[in-house]
Amino acid sequence: MNYPNPTSVQNFSDSAYSASTADASNDWAIEAINVSHRFGVGRGQRIAFANVNLTVKKGEFISIVGPSGCGKSTLLNLIVGFQRPSTGQIIVDGKRVVGPGADRGMVFQKHCLFPWMSVRANIEFGPRMSGINQSERRKIADEILELVGLRDVAKNATYELSGGMQQRAAIERALANRPKVLLMDEPFSALDAFTRERLQDELISLWTRTNTSILFVTHSVDEAVYLGTRIVAMKAHPGEVILDVQVPRNNDQDRSRESYQKDLQLQSLKEQISISLRTTAFRTA
């Protein structure tokens, strides 16, 4: 196996950071440097996670997997800018994160489409906020609607769509802004198994075509390995990165579900991650 011992935390050396921050045209999409986060104040204070270091290369698809309470969603909220880290800093595309912005698209567990707008208006919302004129907006939306087959429902109200369609539209709405990174917080966990598989496949194809960096939070190890090019596993109480491995894919072109299921290396990686998550859970429970 060419991935490290699951119990060891793979940290990047400090010199790697200084080198990357000195070079403005670095190829890091996201850099989380020594990030810790605490909830509450005084004696009730609780540590979400401590000293997390995470760097995401441009074009990388990182799956963050772990049990609830491991801080994976909190980490995403810090990167998107809803919250500020207690210590450490988060840099996206060379700029320090101080709040939410159009350069970081987000897809939530719930689709969060605006019901007072049509599907098309939802997708055009991001471009409209960044001041793109109407004809240009229409073009962007048309392209995107074509991409995932939402064209026929463009004029519909969002609540007339099925759950899968709604989540598709939510992904498209985030992508319409052409974000540097796409952050996804368990986006498929509320869907039925069939729809989930379809959307997973569509996401892979979207990612290969747009080459956006994706940070995908999930509690399913299977989903994490199937989608990601790199897996970050976290344990809970307190949150900590226990594993950071590259997914050893023989053939990056062949991303079919069949070959994934037949790939013994991937299946054993899945097993390995599950075991390390389980053992750390036992240790801390």
159-167, Cβ contacts within 8 angstroms, sequence gap of 24 or more: 159/115, 161/119, 162/195, 163/111, 163/190, 163/191, 163/192, 163/195, 164/191, 164/195, 164/198, 164/199, 166/111, 166/113, 167/107, 167/111, 167/191, 167/199
Is residue 112 at the binding interface for another protein, with CB under 8 A as the rule? Answer: yes
* Residue 126 DSSP SS3: helix
Among the residue ranges 17-25, 101-109, 195-203, 264-272, the one whose residues contact another protein (CB under 8 A): 101-109
Nearer to another protein (CB atom), residue 184 or residue 227: 184
Among 5, 18, 19, 82, binds another protein (CB under 8 A): 82
* Size of interface with another protein, in residues (CB under 8 A): 26
CA angle centred on 185, ends 245 and 61, rounded to 5°: 35
- In the list 16, 102, 190, 204, the residue contacting another protein (rule: CB under 8 A) is 102
The span from the CA of 236 to the CA of 48, in Å, is 8
Please say whether the beta carbons of 150 and 165 come within 8 A: yes
Question: Reading across the β-sheet that carries 213-218, which strands appear in turn?
Answer: 104-107, 181-185, 213-218, 61-65, 230-235, 240-246
Complex with another protein: residue 53 or 118, whichever CB lies closer: 118
Q: Is 104 in the site for another protein (CB under 8 A)?
A: yes
Tokens (6 digits) for 91: 């840099």
Tell me: does residue 115 bind another protein (CB under 8 A).
yes
Asked if 101 touches another protein (CB under 8 A), the answer is yes
Among 130, 134, 268, 284, binds another protein (CB under 8 A): 130
Q: Check whether the bond before 6 is cis (ω within 30° of 0).
A: no
Select the span of 3-11, 20-28, 112-120, 265-273 touching another protein (CB under 8 A). Answer: 112-120
C-alpha distance from residue 4 to each of 10, 129, 139 (Å): 8, 44, 46
Nearest to 177 by CA among 229, 213, 125: 125
C-beta of 48 vs 242, nearer to another protein: 48
Comparison of 187 and 238: residue with beta carbon closer to another protein: 187
Q: Which of 51, 156 has the CB closer to another protein?
A: 156
Which residue from 80, 92, 148, 217 is in contact with another protein, where contact means CB under 8 A?
Answer: 80
- Our finding on whether 39 is near another protein (CB under 8 A) is no
108 near another protein, judged by CB under 8 A: yes
The verdict on 174 binding another protein (CB under 8 A) reads yes
What residues make contact with another protein under the rule CB under 8 A?
Answer: 80, 82, 99-102, 104-106, 108, 110, 112, 114-117, 125-126, 129-130, 157-159, 173-174, 177
